[in-house]
Amino acid sequence: MTRKLLTALLLGTSILGTAGLAHAADVTLNIESWRGDDLTIWKDKLIPAFEAKNPGIKVVFAPSAPTEYDAALGAKLAAGSAGDLITCRPFDKSLELFKKGNLADLSALPGMENFSPVAKAAWQTDDGKSSFCVPMASVIHGFIYNKDAFDKLGIKVPTTRDEFFAALDKIKADGTYIPMAMGTKDLWEAATMGYQNIGPNYWKGEDGRAALIKGEQKLTDADWVAPYAELAKWKPYLGDGFEAQTYPDSQNLFTLGRAAIYPAGSWEIGLFNTQAQFKMGAFPPPVEKAGDTCYISDHTDIGMGLNAASKNADAAKTFLSWVASPDFATIYANALPGFFSLNSSPVKMEDPLAQEFVSWRDKCKSTIRSTYQILSRGTPNLENETWVESANVINGTDTPEAAAKKLQDGLDSWYKPGK
């Protein structure tokens, strides 16, 4: 009953909403999104830029709350009142919409050639044949460091693992700063900023990830256990009581200048720029030997697709082609430092920290988080288990080998590759 009521309400608002615009002869496109934070950027920058180039098409950005987005979108799609353009969550959530026929196939959309296969992977069928969302932005993992602290202690930016640990030792011996700001209380920090951050260097990015999905490699292989072994070595460099340190605690420790290195995701840039009173720099996850190929986690996070039931499909496709263009990428990436365009053509960004992050794309190979595609569909859920086990490894509850074995056993129980 509540569902019907909700549907009726949504239907009502959509009719009223469009009724107000009906007098305009132009085509009006509605964008569904969970990014309420971006409303001003869309209204003031992105939409005017598009409308200036495409007279006759009006665009309305209509976000809903992040926690309600998926449910509200589902109800609107079922009632036929959803907007023409739909902001896509990565992987299974959007794939499900595509399979239900809610999202149109965009493989042939002009502009899609601007994206690399890795960028498109988050919004493709498992066989990679059909794409259904235009990739918009990704987040990159690395380490942000306190430049003042490094200068004071005379530490050079580490590029190899030995240099990295030597730097940590030096900071610890000095005692002014906590060497690394990370906690295990919220679990995901250990997995996302830890395991998925340093891991690609061990499992060779996409090669290892693809082999894992095909079943050619296992999480118990040396390349997948080694990042856990490194994580276990982080323990002495974390602050007192890191077991109860939450994600906001870590952020505050770093921005207050009490910690020297912060295992980061690029989404922190915006916040850190406003909070930190010192100079910051960033370095990619260190490699084993100088000159080794480096791999970074360049994780696809947000995309945009076309509602299959849209009455303005042609106008919507024009808009999506524009979203796939370098123009859009430049405006978007500059308005939201830390959310990087997935466009293959380089984007000029003003923010120095964001520039540093994105420069790694040229010298390193990109991959996405190993657990996101396909492998987290069953029970137990590999991503959630990775959170728990990464924290366990750092806390010393589990050895790296034991953690890897638990994850592989859990995966084996439901995932049978090649069938």
Partner 1 sequence: MAAETRPKRPFRWHIGVFLAPALLVYTAIMILPLAGTLQLSLFRNIEQHQVFVGFDNFRTLFGDPNWSVNFWNALRNNVWFFIIHMLVQNPIGVMLAALLSSPRLRFAAFYRTAIFVPTILSFVIVGFAWKLILSPLWGVAPHLMDLVGLKSFFTPWLGKEQYALTALSLISVWQFIGIPMMLIYAALLSIPEEVIEAAECDGITGMSQFWKIKLPLILPSIGIISILTFVGNFNAFDLIYTAQGALAGPNYSTDILGTFLYRAFFGFQLQVGDPNMGAAIATMMFLIILGGVCVYLFLVQTRLRRYQF
Q: Which residues bind to partner 1, rule: CB under 8 A?
A: 91-92, 100, 183-188, 239-246, 249, 252-253, 371-372, 376-377, 379-384, 387-388, 391-392, 395, 397-398, 410, 413-414
CA distance linking residue 24 with residue 391, whole number of Å: 56
Shortest Å, Cβ 159 to partner 1? 31
Which CB, 334 or 384, lies closer to partner 1? 384
Shortest Å, Cβ 398 to partner 1? 8
Which CB, 249 or 298, lies closer to partner 1? 249
CA distance linking residue 70 with residue 93, whole number of Å: 8
Which CB, 174 or 383, lies closer to partner 1? 383
CA distance linking residue 391 with residue 164, whole number of Å: 21
Shortest Å, Cβ 208 to partner 1? 19
CA distance linking residue 115 with residue 296, whole number of Å: 17
The answer to whether 179 and 233 are in contact (CB under 8 A) is no
Shortest Å, Cβ 243 to partner 1? 3
Shortest Å, Cβ 278 to partner 1? 19
Which CB, 184 or 325, lies closer to partner 1? 184
Nearest to 118 by CA among 367, 337, 373, 311: 367
Shortest Å, Cβ 185 to partner 1? 5
Which CB, 54 or 384, lies closer to partner 1? 384
Shortest Å, Cβ 91 to partner 1? 8
Shortest Å, Cβ 307 to partner 1? 19
Which CB, 349 or 388, lies closer to partner 1? 388
Which CB, 92 or 327, lies closer to partner 1? 92
Which CB, 6 or 62, lies closer to partner 1? 6
Rg (CA), the chain: 23
Shortest Å, Cβ 376 to partner 1? 4
Shortest Å, Cβ 58 to partner 1? 36
The three state secondary structure string of the chain is CHHHHHHHHHHHHHHHHHHHHCCCCCEEEEEEECCHHHHHHHHHHHHHHHHHHCCCEEEEEEECCHHHHHHHHHHHHHHCCCCCEEEECCCHHHHHHHHCCCECCCCCCCCHHHECHHHHHHHECCCCCCECEEEEEEEEEEEEEEHHHHHHHCCCCCCEHHHHHHHHHHHHHHCCCEEECCCCCCCHHHHHHHHHHHHHHHHCHHHHHHHHHHCCCCCCCHHHHHHHHHHHHHHHHECCCHHHCCHHHHHHHHHCCCEEEEEEEHHHHHHHHHHCCCCEEEECCCECCCCCCEEEEEEEEEEEEEECCCCCHHHHHHHHHHHCCHHHHHHHHHHCCCCEECECCCCCCCCHHHHHHHHHHHHEEEECCCCCCCCCCCCCCHHHHHHHHHHHHHHCCCCHHHHHHHHHHHHHCCCCCCC
Which CB, 114 or 370, lies closer to partner 1? 370
Shortest Å, Cβ 283 to partner 1? 25
Which CB, 318 or 408, lies closer to partner 1? 408
The answer to whether 316 and 117 are in contact (CB under 8 A) is no
Which CB, 242 or 322, lies closer to partner 1? 242
